[in-house]
Structure 1
Amino acid sequence: MRKFVLPLLAVAAFGAAATPALANETRAEARAGVIWGGGDSEAITGIAGGYDFDLGPALFSGVEVSADKILTSNTKVGWGFTGRLGTHLATTKVYAAGGYTTEFCDVCDGHWHAGVGAELPLGPMLYGKAEYRHYFADRNADADAVMAGVGVKF
């Protein structure tokens, strides 16, 4: 737990002096990447929607619902429910995230997940996103994913 909290506090302290960016916004995105664990790696793709709330001039929190699909046979859509906490570094959002994802296959368990990410502006309403996520498994091997996405905020 300490290895997640200390970096988040460092980012928050640095962000206290950063120029604020707009939060209190709804967002929707498409994303794709790779997921690996247990000696295998596969492509993964999905969509997500969420809302971010300002917590002051430099901090924000948010919620997200996602639908991700590992692109191999015998898998299904994993539904993710994620909270995030981050800071504005000029116009870039940097955040830590955590939540729960339902099972990706019939013989899999759902997973708690934690990760970090960043959103960069691509225009007035568009953003690019990169995120790392670790999935904590009970019966199966833990998994990791790196995804990149493009979204719109409104």
Structure 2
Amino acid sequence: MKTAHLIAAVALVAGVAVPAQAQDAPSHTGPRAEVRFAYDFVGATLRTTINPQNRGTFAGDDASDEGTNIGGEVGYDVQAGPAVVGIYAGAEKGSTQVNAISRPYALKTGMNWTVGARAGVVSRDVLIYVKAGYSNGELRGLLLPTASPTFFSAYDSKRNGWHAGAGAEFPIAGGVYGKLEYVHHKYDTATVSTTEELRFSRNQLVAGVGYRF
């Protein structure tokens, strides 16, 4: 169902964008702001620091689950000929939950903050770009009803990391634009106990709608 929601959002953005082909070529210079809806694929790996090869707390080996998040991004771009460079900052709220098998705990995503730069080329009014920068993601521990109040029950960590991705941005009408994007986030390893550490990453498929001022 979550994947279906993303497909519907992508179809809506792409469908509205079709009339833009008949318009004058838009400029990609100036400030912009957008709302973003993402399919979020989150992975978590718990390792013991005594024996790093002994995994298996989550889903037998590496655990992952999918969810959605919604957020926004602001930025400023400069176009010179077909080339475009810019900076951006964003925030999003996630709700993906990764469950454990051998223990009655779960991990749930929270806020994610990003700052970065992008560069691309405009072809037939469509901006094709790559992006990269800093990420700060939240991962909270949830105590399930059958668990004793230990281990992840009080875990709440905001992890620094990085992200990289690529996307396409296309005009809709006036200063309104749509976009499709893929982003990978990788966060610093977190120490959750004296003998265990947690690795955390996510992959996102993003559909967005924005306005260039």
TM range (shorter): 0.7 to 0.9
Whether the aligned pair in 2 keeps the contact of 1:21 and 1:92 (CA below 8 Å) is no
Deviation at 1:77, TM superposition (A): 2.0
Counterpart in the other structure of 1:48 = 73
Q: How many residues align?
A: 134
* Counterpart Cα distance in 1 of 2:166 and 2:26: 19
Deviation at 1:108, TM superposition (A): 4.6
Counterpart in the other structure of 2:159 = 109
Provide the identity percentage: 31
Whether the aligned pair in 2 keeps the contact of 1:28 and 1:49 (CA below 8 Å) is yes
Is 1:141 paired with 2:146?
no
* RMSD of aligned alpha carbons: 1.7
Whether the aligned pair in 2 keeps the contact of 1:44 and 1:68 (CA below 8 Å) is yes
Instruction: Tell me which of 68, 74, 91 is aligned to 2:92.
Output: 68
* Counterpart Cα distance in 2 of 1:107 and 1:60: 36
Please identify the structure whose Cα radius of gyration is greater. 2
Whether the aligned pair in 2 keeps the contact of 1:45 and 1:71 (CA below 8 Å) is no
Secondary structure at the counterpart of residue 138 of structure 2: coil
Q: Which runs of 5+ in 2 are unaligned?
A: 1-24, 44-63, 98-107, 140-155, 190-198
- The TM-score with structure 1 as length reference comes to 0.80
CA gap of 1:58–1:21, structure 2 versus 1, over 3 A, is farther
State the one-letter code of the partner of 1:123: A
Deviation at 1:136, TM superposition (A): 1.8
State the one-letter code of the partner of 1:67: A
Is 1:23 paired with 2:28?
yes
State the one-letter code of the partner of 1:52: D
Is 1:93 paired with 2:152?
no
Q: Which runs of 5+ in 1 are unaligned?
A: 1-19
* Counterpart Cα distance in 1 of 2:200 and 2:112: 16
State the one-letter code of the partner of 2:90: S
State the one-letter code of the partner of 2:40: I
Whether the aligned pair in 2 keeps the contact of 1:59 and 1:88 (CA below 8 Å) is yes
* Counterpart Cα distance in 2 of 1:21 and 1:87: 13
State the one-letter code of the partner of 2:31: T
State the one-letter code of the partner of 1:147: V
- The TM-score with structure 2 as length reference comes to 0.59
